[in-house]
Each structure stands twice: as C-alpha cells, then as structure tokens.
Structure 1
C-alpha cells in the first residue's frame, strides 16, 4: 500500500518549513498563502482521492496559483509530504485526563492513532523511516513516551514499546482500511462477497482434510456474520500486546527473572 515516504526532500528546507523558519525574505509582494494553508489543501486532496492522486499541480489548482508559484512556497512533493504528515499529527490530543495507570494511557495512545488512520487513510501509504522532525511529531512522541515513563522500563525499552504499539496500530488500521477499499472498488460488501463465494467453497472443501480450519472458520464466520470485525480484532490484539508489555515489566522487577 505504501506509495510515498517522508524525508524525501531537502532535509534542511523541510525542517525550516516544519518549524516556520523562513529564509531571508525576497523583495516582492507579500505571499498570498501560508505554508500551513498549502499543507491543509494537500491534506484535503489526499483525504478525498488518496495519496496517489496528489500532485503539486493539483495542490496549486486548489489554492488558485500556478504550479511554478507553488514551488516558491514549498520546493517539492517530498517537503510537502513531511508538512502534511506533521500537520495531521497535530490532531492527536496530548492529554491523559481521566485515565489512570500505564495500561490505560497506552490504550488511549493506540486508539487515538487508530482513529487518526481512519480519518486520514492516506497516512497508511506513507513510509516514515525518516520521520518529519516537526513540532507535532516530536510533541506526540514525547506524549507517548510519558504514557510509560516510570513503570520499570529502560529508556531504550520505552522507545521500543512506543514503536511496537505504533507498528501494531498501523497494521491493524491497514487491514480495516483495506477492507473498506475492497468493498468500494468491487461494489460488494463482505457479506455479499461471502454469499457468492461460500456455496462454491462448500463444494470443493473437504472438512476432513482441514478439520481445525473448518471448525474455527465456521465459528468465526458465525460470530462475525461472515463480515469480519476489524475494530474487535484491533481491541483483542491490543489487549494481547499490552499483556506482553506487562509481563516484560514484571520480569524486569523480578530479580530472578530474565530481562532479555
């Protein structure tokens, strides 16, 4: 699904744009738009049509300037992607009000990320091995680290747990969004797809050859009404993941336990 990546532009210029550090102003008329307004226009396009449909020319058309004029604000698509991602990360609330305990805090972090992906599915199409080092990304990273600060993890383990939770949510959201896209592009809901595929499968499937898959698949299909339930799968997986983190913390506190 990944179609683009952050960190693809000039790193210095990208950080300048992210933090509002403008180079010396050139003589001429006052800029018609702010960089934030351009990022918002690009986000609106990606929300509507997906990241593959995004181009500098389309963003320019949306704000009402020529493509050449747009490049005087943002030098290229690489820097624009960085701005878009950091901007939407600013939507995540940086508070744990009403939540007690590290587990509740991490659950909130995970669900906020889940909701962000569902609001902006194009985020799933952006690889972030070189993260845009903007104010919203760094504030969000600090917020997520504070969810698990002081619970018995080393600083390195804290970073790895934040990555682990982020990777899990990304994968779960990818599955949920993909299911929606498949329905849109095929014109069939999951229920309709199973209604057509199920009878044919029954003719060719030998339950005796795959007894466990047959039994479990039938139980799951009955529970989910043959449609699947990405939100329920997300919650179950999150619970299992946090059980693992809790076990890691317990081993670290046990002098006789393994810490690796």
Structure 2
C-alpha cells in the first residue's frame, strides 16, 4: 500500500524559510541523500536515515511526516545551486540545462527513480524548470509548445538516467556486471541468426561501437525542436507583410515587431501620413 501524502504539508516543508526549521531538517535530508546515493531509492528508509544520524526512527517523524515527503525534500536539496544556462542561442542554452540534469542524475542516480506525477516541487526544482523554459522564450513557439518542448527534453533525461539507475541496481543486487551478464547469454545468441536484419547489423559491427544513447537522443530531440522553431518563424514571416509594399517582413526574435520591410518603406509611410494630415 502506498504511503498517504499530505501535499500541503509537503509545500510547508519544501518552502519554509523560517528560522529553526532548517538545521535538524537539513541534517536529515543530507543523511537521506547519502543513503540513497549508496543504496538507491529502494534502499532508502526512515530507519536507515535515523541510524546514520544516531537517532531513533521516531525522532525523525517530528521533522518529516514520512518517506514520501523526505524524497521530495531530497530532490530539491540536490538541485540547489545549479548554474544558469550557458551558451549563445536557445539550442545551446537548452542543451546546457539538459546536461546539467544529466550530470546531476549521474551523481544522484536515484533522482530518475522518483516516479509519479504528484510530487510537490520545491523552490530549487521550480528555479531549474523556469530556467529551462527561459531558453525557448522568444523563439516563436507558442506557450503550450514551449512547455511541451521543455517537458520532452526533461522526460528524455529522466528516461536515460533511469536505465543507468536500473543497471546499477541489478549489478548491486546480483554482484554481476552488465557486461558479464550479457556475455554469458550464449544460448540466446545462438538462436538469433534466424533474424536477417539483426544478423547483418551484428556482422557489420553495428554493436561493436554503439552510439552513446544520451548524446544521440539529445541531439535528435534538439534537431526536432529546431525544425519546429524554424517552421514557426517561417509562418510569422509569411503572415507579416509590409504595410507599404506588401513584401514579407522579417521579425526580430525579441523586442518590438516590425511593420515595414525596409527603412525606405518606413519613410514612405511617414511621408504619406504627413501629407494626409
């Protein structure tokens, strides 16, 4: 049975900036992060956190209602201090955010194991999300498309990180590495020669030097978003016509929209208004 969670209590814990709430709660969260970093989210329990701190389990419940709230606090704690997006242009800045998320999950693989859509975000998580949204502001995407694009990249990072987390969990529990486990599957490989495409790719070395899943996937995602942004800019260019000559007007990525295709047309419009006054 899943743990009952009071989301309003979660908001209080995550966003409380008052004095006195931080030190003991901060120690609990830091200890919980250490446990999860070592044993994964499956190995996290209030009892283990209490033991690490040298307290009884019940003493923790005076500060945190339960494990679910603790996980939300842990997530927000490790997201503190993430740098602002770097690079010139939306693509470089969005890629910077994705790499920050990937590196964070490399240090804390359990982040990808947090499943479900009802986890209350804290201030650090919201700041990171807001920074991601800012990377596609002014690109011509609609508000809904901006949210969808950022969500797509975020889910991709989580999905790839979850594969690594599951692999690490399997290696910890079995004591056998991923490479050793698959290297022992001779009985399976002996049956695969009946599949022609798979066999051809194997024989041509397709599995000898595979593409990095994260690098390949991120590049393809950004390519797709770039195509959408280009399409939206083309639509805007087609829809905006010069008020004087009717030619398409190229619009800036930000700032005040242009009504004329050139300085000459703008001056012509000014003269027309002045003569008609």
Give the TM interval when normalised to the shorter protein: 0.7 to 0.9
Question: Is 1:109 aligned to residue 89 of structure 2?
Answer: no
Hey, what's the Cα distance between the residues in 2 that align with 1:87 and 1:80?
A: 10
What CA deviation, in whole Å up to 9, does each residue of 1:177-199 have, x standing for no partner? 3333434444444443444324x
Hey, what's the Cα distance between the residues in 1 that align with 2:2 and 2:225?
A: 32
What CA deviation, in whole Å up to 9, does each residue of 1:95-123 have, x standing for no partner? 134x1111111111111111111111111
Normalising by structure 2, what TM-score? 0.75
If you compute each CA radius of gyration, which structure gives the higher value, 1 or 2? 2
Q: Tell me, which stretches of 5 or more residues in structure 2 are unaligned? A: 238-277
Hey, what's the Cα distance between the residues in 2 that align with 1:109 and 1:212?
A: 37
Hey, what's the Cα distance between the residues in 2 that align with 1:197 and 1:153?
A: 48
Hey, what's the Cα distance between the residues in 2 that align with 1:32 and 1:249?
A: 44
Partner of 1:204: 191
Normalising by structure 1, what TM-score? 0.80
After TM superposition, give the deviation of residue 201 of structure 1 in Å.
4.3
Residue 206 of structure 2, aligned match among 207, 220, 224: 220
After TM superposition, give the deviation of residue 32 of structure 1 in Å.
10
Shift in CA distance, 183/100, structure 1 to aligned 2, threshold 3 Å:
same
After TM superposition, give the deviation of residue 33 of structure 1 in Å.
4.3
Partner of 1:166: 154
After TM superposition, give the deviation of residue 57 of structure 1 in Å.
2.3
Moved over 6 A (4+): none
Q: Tell me, which stretches of 5 or more residues in structure 1 are unaligned? A: none
Greater relative contact order (CA < 8 Å, ≥ 6 in sequence): 1
Question: Is 1:55 aligned to residue 45 of structure 2?
Answer: yes
User: Secondary structure, in 3 states, of the residue corresponding to 1:38?
Assistant: helix
Partner of 1:255: 235
User: How many residue pairs end up in the alignment?
Assistant: 236
RMSD over aligned Cα, in angstroms? Answer: 2.8
Hey, what's the Cα distance between the residues in 1 that align with 2:14 and 2:44?
A: 20
